[in-house]
Amino acid sequence: MQIKTIRCHENSEDITTVTLDTIDLAPPSDDEVQVAVKACAVNFPDILKIQGKYQRKPPLPFTPGGEAAGEVIAIGEDVTNVALGDKVIWGADYGSFTEALNINSRSVKAMPKAMDFAAAASFQTTYLTAWVGLTCRGHLQPGENLLVHGATGGVGMAAVDLGKYLGANVIATGGRDDKLEIVKSRGADHVINYTMPNGEIGGFRDEVKSLTGGLGADVIFDPVGGGAFDESMRCINVDGRLLTLGFTSGLWPQAAVNLILIKQLSIIGVRAGEYGRIYPEKGVENSRAIYELANSGKIRPYVCKAFPLDEAVAAMQMLESRNVIGKCIVTMNGYTMKSST
């Protein structure tokens, strides 16, 4: 059958060079299912792959889009774990900004019962990252003070959500008051705008110390780096754990070794995907834990906006300009997200 799909024919800094193509999709092979895609999350790796900057480069031409949700419309002869009409989710390196695709049946799982297509397409990557950081690496305990930087983004919001589930007192930071209001409404105990008058990140140290009785945060979840990391070193508790997940500020900080010594703190790197590859059994356990939380309705990603397939570039531009709150998605096959969730 013929389908519409977003394709990147050549790597370019300009993501508008991708095209909406009509291509033929073959029937699924014996071990595959064919899925009508309903929603696909938009992630930074989608942009980096188009630009040729991602560590694993897809062969050209390719279709961006990784984690998604949809409905099974055809099955291969050897498939026994999936039936026609099943609602499923999957995660792929690329290929999901499309109306339909063929995928190995072992790569899909039932869509969480408590989620619609929008939420189901949006939780796997962010919540797994936050879960690995907070539990496997940070060993967050009930009653501890958790400071989450970049809390208005997808991973940050997931960390706030999971931090509350794990029983922590959550302090969330971000750069815009309107975004932080949404984070507060979704459970953060306290929110702090860390954008200083000069536009740099900082100014939160004293407030964090005040909110924690002068002790500082026990665990700090930092995907931002730069000024967020530097000032975190001065509002972390003795024996604290500072989790570094990335550098969205564009600045690579340098740790003050004297503070590490004095406060006996730990600076811990978090790479959820790599953690699962190094420790496969733990990787399976972590994915199962997140899936069970999603299935029982105990977690729910915030999806701020949905774009139809022919506006996939606009969706990526919204993410690239950092105007997304939580997640945004691309939708297909007539699916309409009811409202921000």
For 153-184, what is each residue's pLDDT tens digit? 999 999 999 999 999 999 999 999 999 999 99
> How far, in Å, CA of 232 to CA of 95, rounded?
38
Q: Are residues 201 and 311 in the same domain?
A: no
Q: Which residues contact 30 (CB under 8 A, 6 or more apart)?
A: 76, 77, 78, 79
Across the range 70-83, mean pLDDT stands at: 96
Break the chain down into helix, strand, coil percent, rounded to 5. 30, 25, 40
Residue 61 has pLDDT above 90, yes or no: yes
Is there a single domain that holds both residue 146 and residue 251? yes
Task: With cut-offs at 50, 70 and 90, classify the pLDDT of residue 340.
Answer: low
Residues 317 and 268 in one domain: no
pLDDT of residue 250: 73
Calculate mean pLDDT across residues 59-81: 96
Say whether both 172 and 60 belong to one domain.
no
Is the pLDDT reported for residue 71 higher than 90?
yes
The total number of structural domains that make up the chain? 2
> CB under 8 Å to 6, separation ≥6 — which residues?
18, 19, 20, 21, 63, 64, 65, 97, 98, 309, 312
Task: Tell me the residue range of the domain where 262 lies.
Answer: 125-274
pLDDT for 312-336, tens place per residue? Answer: 999 999 999 989 999 999 999 999 9
The answer to whether residues 164 and 200 belong to one domain is yes
Q: What is the CATH number of the domain that holds 153?
A: 3.40.50.720
Judge if 217 and 318 occupy the same domain. Answer: no
Residues 260 and 130 in one domain: yes
| Same domain membership, residue 131 and residue 269 | yes
**Distances, alpha carbon 313 to alpha carbons 42, 167, 335, in Å:** 10, 39, 18
Check pLDDT > 90 for residue 249. Answer: no
Beta bridge partners of 98: 5
Instruction: Return the pLDDT at 89.
Output: 98
